[in-house]
Amino acid sequence: MSTETSTPKEEQHQFSAEVERLMDLVVHALYSEREIFLRELIANSADAMDRRRFEALTNEACALPATPQIRLSVDKEAHLLTISDDGVGMNKEEMIQNLGTIARSGTRAFEKELKDSKPEDRPNLIGQFGVGFYSAFMVADKVEVISRRAGSDEAWSWTSEGKGQYTLAQKTRETAGTDIILHIKSDADEYLESMRLENIIRKWADHIAWPIMIKQGEEERSANEGTALWRKPRSEITDEQLEDFYRHITHLFDKPLATLLWHAEGVFEFTSLLFIPGMISPFAPVDQERKSKVRLHVRRMFITDEAEMLPAWLRFIQGIVDTEDLPLNVSREMLQNTPVLARIRKALTNRVMSELNKLSEDTEKYEKFWDLFGAIFKEGLWENGEHAESILKLSRFYSSTQEGFTTLPDYVSRMKEDQEAIYYLAGDSKDILASSPQLEGFKAQGIEVLLFTDAVDAFWPDRVGKYADKPLRSITQAKEDLEKLMGDVEHVNSEEEEGLLKSLQEILKDKVSEVRTTQRLVDSPVILAASAGGPDLQMQRLMRRNDKTMPTATPVLELNPNHPWIKSLVLKAKDGKDINEEAAILLDLARVQDGEMPIDPTLFARRIATALTGK
């Protein structure tokens, strides 16, 4: 971002290219209803009020006024709509960070500042000004933000027409908080009518606990009830209200796959309103923390979304949990150690698992859920023993013999009578796995193999070990199993074949642990296998790709003794001919078949060209 100062108190700034693209997307494509801008701006104001309330716990200078509220003021003659709040406000640097760049929010910066400090609580809010702020340009051709940071006497303004630049200038504001002044477009006059604004607020923001007031002329009235939706009986809540609240809390624009409203009573009491989203946020960071962000409320008031109300493998669940059994100033230590929260977490996890069992009865919905969140859900197989059996039953997999998804119970029901293990092959995609030479011998024997396509699939089978008393075994480590299933067709190497194996072992001695023949290949000449007792090949690849160290285990190179190429190599080795080039091609070909690059791609290409042309 470049900056040039026009006066000592006024500065011109350029938006980053990302913000310009984002604004264009928001204004022209992201929102189907223009009125959504009001929901976004009011949500930002409510978050700023929450944040100031929490800062006031440890900083008296941030104390809220006697009657904190969010105010909407309409000036029809001037074509202005102003949204004001008594929130934490912003200083100059925060304005630049929050309104001039993407992927930054005041709340994220606030989290970082307090990560290692001692405040009683550390709220993580939706974001004081995030993506939703730019929706203001759907209805305004100019937006001005005037803000004064709580605890500071200095105020600043941010002004932009949404066309590549914005202006920062010093201003005055009597109290801490923020004013957002929208210069309403000529085709958006409806948003200068108080009744229209009130209807929008009741539709999108009626649940917000802070009072929202609308003033037009001399008339001022309340626009929201401030009733916590999750506290109402289900019979009093419409599906539309639930969907609106889902969109508010998740900032997504679809309908949830499932909604769970639960009022738990007994030794401890809490209410939860949870959603299984119907999409993944397009703005979710790639390196998103592996933590649940379900919001914890105490007596309706937001406390934090850092309480990890659900395990990490259920972090796709979004929503709130509200309890009466904690103090409003609950400390970080209490969040970690209180038995009340431990019991709530356990009950909540069990309830979510029950909901997923119910959802699994709807094949279409569950497959959509699995496509979105299956890879995250299976992390529970690695991390958690208590729910492993349930997770296994709810897991879905591709198969070498079945269309669509299948389950472990269904796989076990189809196992051959003499089959001892559940066989799987892990890789990067269903299509690549389905055509892998690794499957050839199992297909020939009519043995079904599960196709594991997620990164976590390379790890959890070793942790889980077995299902229904059947061991889980990668077919890259199942040579003896296949030979037993094949019975009397076991191949005995001839003296000439043994000579080839010894020659190849000598040539490739630094790259493979063993060279041997195999009966599990039908059409392919060569394949890689894991060495005895070594980790699965896919696990090794994943560790290397993620720069993770693990004990080196050179693979085994297996040859198909019935393939014409291998037969020709047997004769060449017998006659003492040079097979160094073909040995290197064999190994590289086996690597390519398993989704790896050749050891030297350029040299591999040259060798193939030479083999095909003789030049």
Residues near 7 by beta carbon (within 8 Å), at least 6 away in sequence: none
Residue 151 belongs to some domain of the structure? yes
Per-residue three-class SS string for 129-185: CCHHHHHHHHCEEEEEEEEECCCCCCEEEEEECCCCEEEEEEECCCCCEEEEEEEEC
Same domain, 163 and 281: no
Same domain, 404 and 478: yes
Rounded CA separation 585/580 (Å): 9
Polymer length of the chain: 615
Calculate the CA 499 to chain-centre distance. 53
Q: Is 338 exposed, middle or buried (0-12, 13-18, 19+ CB in 10 A)?
A: middle
Task: Find the CATH number of the domain harbouring 409.
Answer: 3.40.50.11260
In angstroms, the first-to-last Cα distance of the chain is 56
Calculate the CA 181 to chain-centre distance. 35
Residue 580 belongs to some domain of the structure? yes
Same domain, 49 and 196: yes
pLDDT, residue 109, reads 40
Q: Is 369 in a helix, a strand, or coil?
A: helix
Residue 7 belongs to some domain of the structure? no
Residue 541 belongs to some domain of the structure? no
Annotated binding site for ATP: 40, 44, 85, 90, 98, 105-106, 128-133, 178, 332
* Residues 563-598: tens digit of each pLDDT: 999 999 999 999 999 999 999 999 999 998 887 889
Same domain, 236 and 217: no
pLDDT, residue 465, reads 92
Please report how many Cα atoms fall inside a 13 Å half-sphere around the Cα of residue 138, on the Cβ side: 24
- Residue ending a domain, among 222, 245, 277, is 222
Rounded CA separation 228/413 (Å): 48
Calculate the CA 568 to chain-centre distance. 51
> How many separate helices (H) and strands (E) can be counted in the chain?
21, 23
Annotated binding site: 40, 44, 85, 90, 98, 105-106, 128-133, 178, 332
Calculate the CA 432 to chain-centre distance. 24
Residue 3 belongs to some domain of the structure? no
Rounded CA separation 360/365 (Å): 8
Task: Find the CATH number of the domain harbouring 205.
Answer: 3.30.565.10
pLDDT, residue 330, reads 65
Tell me which residue range forms the domain holding 125. 19-222
Same domain, 520 and 572: yes
Task: Find the CATH number of the domain harbouring 525.
Answer: 1.20.120.790
Neighbours of 91 (CB within 10 A): 17
Same domain, 330 and 421: no
pLDDT, residue 195, reads 92
Question: Order of strands across the sheet with 526-529?
Answer: 514-517, 556-559, 526-529
* Residues 436-483: tens digit of each pLDDT: 999 999 999 999 999 999 989 988 998 999 999 999 999 988 888 888
Rounded CA separation 275/316 (Å): 9
The DSSP letter of residue 27 is: I
Rounded to the nearest 5 degrees, what angle is found at the Cα of 414, between the Cα atoms of 411 and 439?
A: 70
Q: Is 212 exposed, middle or buried (0-12, 13-18, 19+ CB in 10 A)?
A: buried
Same domain, 171 and 258: no
Rounded CA separation 543/532 (Å): 19
* Residues 488-517: tens digit of each pLDDT: 566 778 899 999 999 999 999 889 999 999
Same domain, 517 and 563: yes
The torsion defined by the Cα of 431, 435, 436 and 438, in degrees rounded to 10, comes to: 130
Same domain, 455 and 504: no
Instruction: Name residues of the chain where pLDDT drops below 50.
Output: 1-8, 29-31, 102-130, 285-287
pLDDT, residue 449, reads 97
pTM here is 0.66
CB 534 within 8 A of CB 574: no
| Pick from 423, 352, 422: nearest CA to 387 | 352
Residue 13 belongs to some domain of the structure? no
Residue 554 belongs to some domain of the structure? yes
Going from the C-alpha of 243 to that of each of 10, 99, 137, 197, 283, the distances in angstroms are 43, 28, 25, 20, 20
Same domain, 31 and 165: yes
Residue 310 belongs to some domain of the structure? yes
Contacts of 255-263 with CB under 8 Å at 24 or more apart are: 257/359, 257/365, 257/368, 257/369, 258/355, 258/358, 258/359, 258/365, 258/369, 260/319, 260/351, 260/352, 260/355, 261/230, 261/234, 261/237, 262/351
Same domain, 249 and 309: yes
Same domain, 362 and 445: no
Counting the structural domains of the chain, the total is 4
pLDDT, residue 32, reads 52
Task: Find the CATH number of the domain harbouring 247.
Answer: 3.30.230.80
Rounded to the nearest 5 degrees, what angle is found at the Cα of 490, between the Cα atoms of 487 and 494?
A: 165
